[in-house]
Structure 1
Amino acid sequence: MLAFIGFLMVIVIIYLLMQSKATPAPIFILVPLVAAAAVGSSFVEVSKYVKDGVAVTMPIAVLFMFSIIYFALMSDAGMFDPLINFLVKKAGNNVVAITVATGIIATIAHLDGSLAATLLVTVPAMLPLYKKLNIRPLIMLVIIGSAMSIMNLVPWGGPVARVAAITKVDINQLWHTLIPLQVVGMIIVLAFAAFLGVLEKRRGAGMQALDVNAAALTAEEQEQNAAKSAKAEALKRPKLVVFNVFLTIGVIALMMFTKIPLYAAFMFGLAIALLVNYPNVKEQSARLKAHAGEALSMATILLASGVFLGVISGAKMLDGMAIAFISIIPPFLGPYLHLIMGVFAVPIGMLLGTDSYFFGLLPVAMSVGSKYGIDPVNMANAMLIGKNYGVLVTPHAATTFLAIGLAGVELKEHLKYCMPLLWGLSLVSLFAAILLGIVKI
């Protein structure tokens, strides 16, 4: 009965998330409460489940709130502008340089872990150049997707935060384990971008003249992108770019080389950044309000998911599900379950979506894997690394539609071109993780 209700709870949560019947928070709260009642848990027991689950996700939710606002504030102040402008200028009409610059800009833009922010920074900056040189926008999207995938391994990124909540491993410790893969991954992203640039150049990009209408359209788009609103310009702090860069380096250094909570580092950084960049009280309030929506949205989901984690663990549903699941797996495949899940993480993640994948499938896979001697963190790492490469090809994710809308491509074209390439990169990344000892065979 525990296994049946546990599976039913996960299926219902996945279905509701995929069908967009409600926002994730009420789904993660109400469905587990109904499931807990169905297995006969008392009010006192359910209260303990909720308390224990939310205690796990609370620090991560706080980290999300402050990190998102911090990096959004840095973007408002123009900390990234000099580097982006430099890369775009240096790329010129060189097709390979433009694709590599796309990878660099997307990597830097994704420091805040926000998919939407990365798209809004990278696509408008690079699309005019792609059109001018007749480079397919799909190339840009797949490069951005690959950069997002490796940068999502930062501790304030959504996937790592979810894994930390589920495995109950210190998020800083988890990140330190993944840093070598991030370094290798950045090299892979740039090499991949250069390779695509060479292919596009052979296809004729950079040599074909655009017709008058296309040229006029490109000029118009460049003018629109260059003409920033007075409100946005008023937020820029060009004289404080150096200060903001060193402040950001300091925040990251605190996380890497000290044992203070990660959210505390961003709290300190945000407090200083607000006072220095926007000393006026009204400006400070305006900046906080401008980015509070996105920050609170993710924090709410993480806190709500604590109810799900508390119920599925506290009510022993996870144990029952693992026993039921393990009975249908051929014994000879059991010890390699983490590798199987890592290999198929992209298509599975595309089907389930982020929250369903991490909060629904991962706990079950970890429990099943432990029966075969697979360390839960080892299972989580394999599934995390693979799933990240599906972030921009999930057909029911809002960011996917934002990406194709900004780039002006069809969803079918986007999935047909980008999905196989990103899946292939996920396998390369998984293999690199095995060589680095992050994922153990």
Structure 2
Amino acid sequence: MLLAITGFVMIFLIIYLLLQSKAHPTPIFVIVPILCAAVCGFDFTQISGFVKAGVATTMPVAVLFIFSIVYFSIMSEVGLFDPLVDFLVRCAGSNVILVTVSTACIATIAHLDGALAATLLVTIPAMLPIYKKLHIRPVVLCVIIGAAMSIMNLLPWGGPVARVGVILNADVNALWHTLIPLQIVGIVMVLFFAAFMGVLEKRRGAGVHPTGKAAEMDEDASSAHQISDEEAAALKRPKLFWFNLLLTVGVIALLCFTKIQLYAAFMIGLSLALIVNFPDPKMQSKRIRAHAGEALGVPMILLASGVFLGVLTGTKMMDAMAETLVMLIPSVLGPYFHIIMGIFAVPIGMMLGTSPYFFGLLPLAIGVGEQYGISPENMSNAMLVGKNFAVLVTPHAATTFLCCGLAGVSIKELLRFCGPWLWGLSIISLFFAIVLGIVTV
């Protein structure tokens, strides 16, 4: 029981400190878990082992972020995205809704490979300049991408469905076939949601000629601009546009269609981009230094979050928490246990993370549900549909910080803005799953 209580206290304390901006995320993710592990009686040697194992899990994504953010920053500098931005702005004009709906379409298509990081790396760099030109808040871009990924994550090669298939010992394609109607409805829901977000942004004054809060945001951004227009123009490489485009397509193809490590693809891409666009070694060093702050800040947080993950799993706090969550459900609500788990899947998923949620909590929930006549498939579908909407708002997930870094938003902004919207969408999706008979009451 001590492990479970300490685990819940640790997670709530970390989320509270992140939301209140009481400290930088790095010390929060390091100090709080170590103190909690010590409270539970683990010695320094054991805690060091937890830290080592946890950091090893986040290291690849931290390296990915370092190289990907520098790569896309350089591609933006040399003007790769300028034609796309200009074209979409010309087509949309002041039509903010068209831009937000386009975002949903791009994110949906980009997530066909089921890779969260690849979807973020494809969608955000391409759309963020357009959002800035039209004075749409970057968190809106994040929440639309999060909604699209949540629906597309129901594909059979997506992580959650594969995990459920392992737990149920069932064919993943067969599971997916039952989810296809919900996925179709979900895509339509995401498009309407994107249009709705566009309407909200227009009311805030977003558009080609901003007013009100959007104008104030633009003035703040302008005052914080670090390089002059002359310097920016000097970095453009219009003659190398096709090379940079083919290079970027090649990097994305490596991400989507090969088993090469994501960070290795960006290592190769960045190396070629620097050599061709900036042959002078001094200029290469200058461009790397220009993005060092942005490229190194988030990886530090990712590595620090590894301490949290290592302590959470190594101390068995996760197992104790999962068992406690199941025990807290009153017996009178037993027949509706799967619906309750589906409704609260987002906040629970934010606390536990993907693998602990499916491999730790789901088997326990299935066992309890069977006592009330709830089939394993019914329980799994309810918890799967809801949990997917937490993929972008899990405070200790690497992709959450990847999104923050690419979009230039803080973890506090992301959780406060995206969390409630995505939780609401998860409940709506659960309702549609019940209507379609995928989840039975």
Contact 1:62-1:263 at 8 Å conserved across structures:
yes
Residues 305 and 389 of structure 1, relative CA distance in 2, 3 Å threshold? closer
Take 1:117 and 1:242, find their aligned partners in 2: how far apart are those partners? 18
Residues 439 and 284 of structure 1, relative CA distance in 2, 3 Å threshold? farther
Q: Which residue of 1 aligns with 2:78?
A: 77
Take 2:430 and 2:288, find their aligned partners in 1: how far apart are those partners? 38
Q: Which residue of 2 aligns with 1:46?
A: 47
The structural deviation recorded for 1:112 is: 5.4
Q: Which residue of 1 aligns with 2:29?
A: 28
The amino acid across from 1:50 in the alignment is: V
SS at match of 1:372: helix
Q: How does 1:215-230 map to 2 (within 5 A)?
A: 229-230=229-230
The structural deviation recorded for 1:23 is: 1.0
The structural deviation recorded for 1:9 is: 1.9
Residues 333 and 102 of structure 1, relative CA distance in 2, 3 Å threshold? closer
Q: Which residue of 2 aligns with 1:149?
A: 146
Question: 1:126 and 2:107 equivalent?
Answer: no
The structural deviation recorded for 1:256 is: 1.8
The structural deviation recorded for 1:197 is: 7.7
Contact 1:2-1:320 at 8 Å conserved across structures:
yes
Contact 2:51-2:306 at 8 Å conserved across structures:
yes
Q: Which residue of 1 aligns with 2:343?
A: 340
Question: 1:370 and 2:370 equivalent?
Answer: no
Residues 262 and 242 of structure 1, relative CA distance in 2, 3 Å threshold? same
Q: TM-score, normalised by structure 2?
A: 0.64
The structural deviation recorded for 1:264 is: 0.7
Take 2:296 and 2:184, find their aligned partners in 1: how far apart are those partners? 30
1:370-406 residue CA offsets vs partner (Å, 9 max, x unmatched): 3023799985774342564899xx9xx9838999xxx
Take 1:14 and 1:235, find their aligned partners in 2: how far apart are those partners? 40
Take 2:412 and 2:6, find their aligned partners in 1: how far apart are those partners? 36
Contact 2:274-2:284 at 8 Å conserved across structures:
yes
Residues 61 and 439 of structure 1, relative CA distance in 2, 3 Å threshold? farther
Residues 194 and 23 of structure 1, relative CA distance in 2, 3 Å threshold? closer
Q: TM-score, normalised by structure 1?
A: 0.64
Take 1:425 and 1:314, find their aligned partners in 2: how far apart are those partners? 33
Contact 2:4-2:320 at 8 Å conserved across structures:
yes
Take 1:279 and 1:439, find their aligned partners in 2: how far apart are those partners? 59
Q: Which residue of 1 aligns with 2:171?
A: none
1:220-250 residue CA offsets vs partner (Å, 9 max, x unmatched): 99xx99x971111112222222222211111
Question: 1:271 and 2:244 equivalent?
Answer: no
Take 2:27 and 2:101, find their aligned partners in 1: how far apart are those partners? 37
Take 1:305 and 1:228, find their aligned partners in 2: how far apart are those partners? 36
Take 1:13 and 1:401, find their aligned partners in 2: how far apart are those partners? 12
Residues 198 and 125 of structure 1, relative CA distance in 2, 3 Å threshold? closer
RMSD: 5.3
Take 1:281 and 1:5, find their aligned partners in 2: how far apart are those partners? 52
User: Identity, % of aligned pairs?
Assistant: 44
The structural deviation recorded for 1:124 is: 3.7
Of stretches 419-428 and 12-21 in structure 1, the one that deviates more from structure 2 is: 419-428
Residues 187 and 380 of structure 1, relative CA distance in 2, 3 Å threshold? closer
Question: 1:87 and 2:91 equivalent?
Answer: no
The structural deviation recorded for 1:7 is: 2.0
Take 1:198 and 1:38, find their aligned partners in 2: how far apart are those partners? 49
Take 2:63 and 2:28, find their aligned partners in 1: how far apart are those partners? 21
Of the candidates 92, 99, 102, which is equivalent to residue 101 of structure 1?
Answer: 99
Take 1:273 and 1:370, find their aligned partners in 2: how far apart are those partners? 47
The amino acid across from 1:31 in the alignment is: V
Q: How does 1:219-258 map to 2 (within 5 A)?
A: 229-258=229-258
The amino acid across from 1:256 in the alignment is: C
The structural deviation recorded for 1:309 is: 1.2
The amino acid across from 2:54 in the alignment is: G
1:321-371 residue CA offsets vs partner (Å, 9 max, x unmatched): 2222221124334444552234xx3xx59xxxxxxx746676775433330
Count of residues paired in the alignment: 368
Take 2:22 and 2:197, find their aligned partners in 1: how far apart are those partners? 39
The amino acid across from 1:147 in the alignment is: I
Residues 400 and 42 of structure 1, relative CA distance in 2, 3 Å threshold? closer
Q: Which residue of 1 aligns with 2:316?
A: 316
The amino acid across from 1:399 in the alignment is: V
The amino acid across from 1:149 in the alignment is: G
The structural deviation recorded for 1:268 is: 0.8
Contact 1:72-1:291 at 8 Å conserved across structures:
yes
The amino acid across from 2:409 in the alignment is: T
Q: Which runs of 5+ in 2 are unaligned?
A: 108-117, 152-158, 167-175, 367-375, 395-399
Take 2:32 and 2:421, find their aligned partners in 1: how far apart are those partners? 36
Residues 382 and 255 of structure 1, relative CA distance in 2, 3 Å threshold? farther
Q: Which residue of 1 aligns with 2:19?
A: 18
Contact 1:68-1:114 at 8 Å conserved across structures:
no
Take 1:310 and 1:89, find their aligned partners in 2: how far apart are those partners? 49
Contact 2:18-2:411 at 8 Å conserved across structures:
no
Contact 2:4-2:318 at 8 Å conserved across structures:
yes
Contact 2:18-2:412 at 8 Å conserved across structures:
no
